[in-house]
Amino acid sequence: MSAHDRFQEMMARRRELSADEKQKLETHLGACSDCTVRAEAYAAQSAALRTIPQEPVPGALRARVLAATRERQVQGRRRLHLFPALSASAAALLVAAISVFAWSHRPQGGNQAVIPPASTPRATSPAAPHPVSRHHVSGRHHTPTKKGKATSPGGTPSQSRASGPSFTVAGGPVPTHPPGLPQNSGTADSSFPTAAAVTSALLGHRPAGSQPRHPAAPAVNGPPQIAGPPHPTAAPRPPSAPVAPPSTPSGPPTGSAPTATPPATPGTPMAAASLPATPTPTAPATIAAPSVTTTP
């Protein structure tokens, strides 16, 4: 910045110059006519700008500001009043959610008490659950066992879990709600459907020869449930389907319960043996059941 520019800048802000700066500027202005003209022009600018009319402030400004502040105060108070209620309701919702979650996981532990008795016939039965479905079942229940929620009556939790869902149906609820029946497939009670669905899925994947795993089925609604295999998937071997259920050692559900000591582990090799016989059906038994009832 040249000396001329520096003086030009000083002229632009002449009002705030210090005494020393003012003296320097005056000295320069005495020697430079151009800067003198410019200084006069800048002074005239400042004077003219100070005549810019100052409009009166609309009276609404203060009223609007104060109204807005009052509104904010009210909003703040409302928030303070709402906070306890909101926090209490949030806590209640949280407790409810936790209890629902805990309750939804609780019945599985309760069903396991029924599992061992029902597992006997299937363990002894030549047919074992389809490997795919068995893996599916065990896979589903691996997560709870990892969390330590599973309390298996005997053997490893995964083993009991693998046979759990199917046997709960076989041992306990089957007499009243046969899973193969059409009315139960869709509209079962709240705790039943999951076990019924798994069981029927296992049955649906099973060929005709594997029926004995449901010994209790013939007691109440035996024919329809046993007839599950006759479903198109089991069509190639119709004669074996009716024969298989009677061959099972236990008839009524009461008989099947106490002799459940043999774990499901023996059934695993059996399942592998029966694997080739399965025609690899994919439709769940719940869907296959209605067609079964029509076959007779």
Partner 1 sequence: MWQVREGVIASVLQVRPVPDAALSIDEQLNRLISDHERALYNFLLALVRDPEVALDCAQDTFLRAYENLRKNRPVNAPWLFKVARNRAMDEFRRGSKFRPESDPTDAVQVHEPTDRNLAVRQAFSELSPSDREVLYLFDVAGFKTDEIGQMLGVRGSAIRQRLSRARVRLRQAYGVEP
Interface mask toward partner 1 for 1-20; x: CB under 8 A:
----x--xx-xxx-xx----
State the CB neighbour count (10 A cutoff) for residue 14: 14
Site for partner 1 in 56-75 (CB under 8 A): 56-58, 60-62, 64-66, 68-69, 72
Q: How far is the CB of 150 from partner 1 (least distance, A)?
A: 55
Q: How far is the CB of 68 from partner 1 (least distance, A)?
A: 6
Q: How far is the CB of 87 from partner 1 (least distance, A)?
A: 24
State which of residues 52, 85, 103, 282 lies at the interface with partner 1 (CB under 8 A). Answer: 52
| Cβ-based nearer residue to partner 1, 76 or 154 | 76
Size of the site for partner 1 (CB under 8 A): 35
What is the phi/psi pair of residue 130, to 5°?
Answer: -60, 135
| Cβ-based nearer residue to partner 1, 9 or 189 | 9
Q: How far is the CB of 26 from partner 1 (least distance, A)?
A: 18
By C-alpha distance, which of 216, 206, 210 is closest to 167?
216
Q: How far is the CB of 79 from partner 1 (least distance, A)?
A: 14
For residues 96 and 167, give the distance between their C-alpha atoms in angstroms, rounded to a whole number. Answer: 31
* Residue that has been written with the tokens 């030549």 in this structure: 126
Q: 38: burial class by Cβ within 10 Å (0-12, 13-18, 19+)?
A: middle
Q: How far is the CB of 77 from partner 1 (least distance, A)?
A: 14
Pick the stretch among 21-29, 42-50, 186-194, 259-267 that binds partner 1 (CB under 8 A): 42-50
Q: Quick check: 26 binds partner 1 (CB under 8 A)? A: no
What element of type H or E holds 35?
helix 33-50
- How many CA atoms lie within 13 Å of 201's alpha carbon, on the beta-carbon side? 17
State the CB neighbour count (10 A cutoff) for residue 21: 15
By C-alpha distance, which of 202, 219, 226 is closest to 253?
219
For residues 156 and 163, give the distance between their C-alpha atoms in angstroms, rounded to a whole number. Answer: 11
**Interacting residue ranges for partner 1, rule: CB under 8 A:** 5, 8-9, 11-13, 15-16, 38, 41-42, 44-58, 60-62, 64-66, 68-69, 72
